[in-house]
Amino acid sequence: MTQELKDQIAVVTGAARGIGAAISQQLASMGATVLLAARDQSKLREVQSQIQSAGGTAHIAQLDLLDESSILSLADTLKARHNSRCDILVNNAGIGLLGKPLTELTPTDWDTLMGTNLRGPYLMIRALAPLMIAANYGHIINISSLAGRNPLPNGAAYSASKWALNGLTYSVAEELRPHNIRVSVVAPGSVDTGFGRGEPGNPRKIQPTDIAHVVATLVTQAPQSFISEVLVRPTQKP
Ligand SMILES: NC(=O)c1ccc[n+]([C@@H]2O[C@H](COP(=O)([O-])OP(=O)(O)OC[C@H]3O[C@@H](n4cnc5c(N)ncnc54)[C@H](OP(=O)(O)O)[C@@H]3O)[C@@H](O)[C@H]2O)c1
């Protein structure tokens, strides 16, 4: 445990597994109090107990990005129990719905994907950035993808959601700079999680801890500058 983020409150969406769990563990190991946000409470409890066993502090927040009321409840929790602080927001939760050509994707699938990957981060920023503005401090980190820089056949909607998330990030970063809020996007290649198809367990792939390391770097950058975008690639192609 280090204390670089002592007294800071971090909210991580999609903290139940994969990249979000690794980011949460990393931020807690640096002394932050982490709100673990996702739908699956039992998985969140597992992540919480791993953090607590390592001496960190984490709380569970029920969050469904498709349900704005759960986002507003999370904001209320921060106001009531955490002194209206949100120092770090990591918009990590996302879904892929990969493996189908666009013409086979239903409009409902499209709405679910955009609702989670794009409207979700928008609603989170809308709910939590005012706390950062009031504190004149904050980091917002959006987890995008190299699919937000490149074409992704059989993943067109996913790719479109991440291209859009990049545009949202660059623009809101300019809006929030005057408030001392640094907004960054992290765009990994294929990460060794259960995301999409396949099981984790390929050590040649980017590991969730690699993305957590990037997030740790972003939130400890000296105050006079910020890293606006990070692209993460595997050293050797898996
Ligand atoms: N893995 C990769 O290869 C890769 C590459 C580039 C970028 N990314 C991006 O990295 C992020 C995390 O990916 P991952 O690989 O860690 O995925 P993952 O293992 O499938 O985890 C996704 C997380 O998002 C949460 N989530 C999904 N829908 C949600 C909703 N409606 N409301 C709240 N939480 C929701 C899930 O929890 P619940 O189901 O419990 O809600 C889960 O904790 C995503 O944005 C993904 O696009 C992944």
* Domain annotation covers residue 238: no
pLDDT at 78: 98
| Residue 143, φ and ψ in degrees, nearest 5 | -90, 110
User: What per-residue confidence (pLDDT) applies to 197?
Assistant: 67
pLDDT average, residue stretch 23-35:
98
Task: Give percent of the chain with pLDDT exceeding 90.
Answer: 97
Q: Is the pLDDT of residue 238 over 90?
A: no
Specify the residue with its C-alpha closest to ligand 1, atom 43.
14
Residue 237 predicted with pLDDT over 80: yes
User: In this predicted structure, what is the pLDDT of residue 199?
Assistant: 85
- Total of domains in the chain: 1
Residues forming a β-bridge with 37: 13, 61
Residue 162 belongs to some domain of the structure:
yes
Residue 237: inside a domain: no
Domain that holds residue 85: 9-232
158 noted as active-site residue: yes
For residue 138, being part of any structural domain is answered with yes
Burial class (CB in 10 A: 0-12, 13-18, 19+), 229: middle
The four Cα atoms 30, 34, 37, 40 give a dihedral, to 10 degrees, of 80
* CATH, residue 91: 3.40.50.720
The confidence score (pLDDT) of residue 128 equals: 98
Q: Which are the contacts of 163, defined by CB distance < 8 A and separation ≥ 6?
A: 148, 149
Instruction: Give pLDDT, residue 198.
Output: 73
CA 14 / ligand 1 centre spacing (Å): 5
Output the ligand 1 site: residues, CB below 6 A: 13-14, 16-20, 38-40, 43, 63-66, 92-95, 116, 143, 145, 188, 190-191, 193-195
- Residue 14 inside a domain? The answer is yes
Classify residue 1: in a domain, yes or no. Answer: no
What type of residue sits at position 206? I
Predicted TM-score of the model (pTM): 0.98
| 216 located within any domain | yes
User: Does residue 116 lie in a domain region?
Assistant: yes
Q: What digits encode the pLDDT tens for the residues 61-103? A: 999 999 999 999 999 999 999 999 999 999 999 999 999 999 9
Q: Rounded to an integer, what distance in angstroms lies between the CA atom of residue 116 and that of residue 139?
A: 21
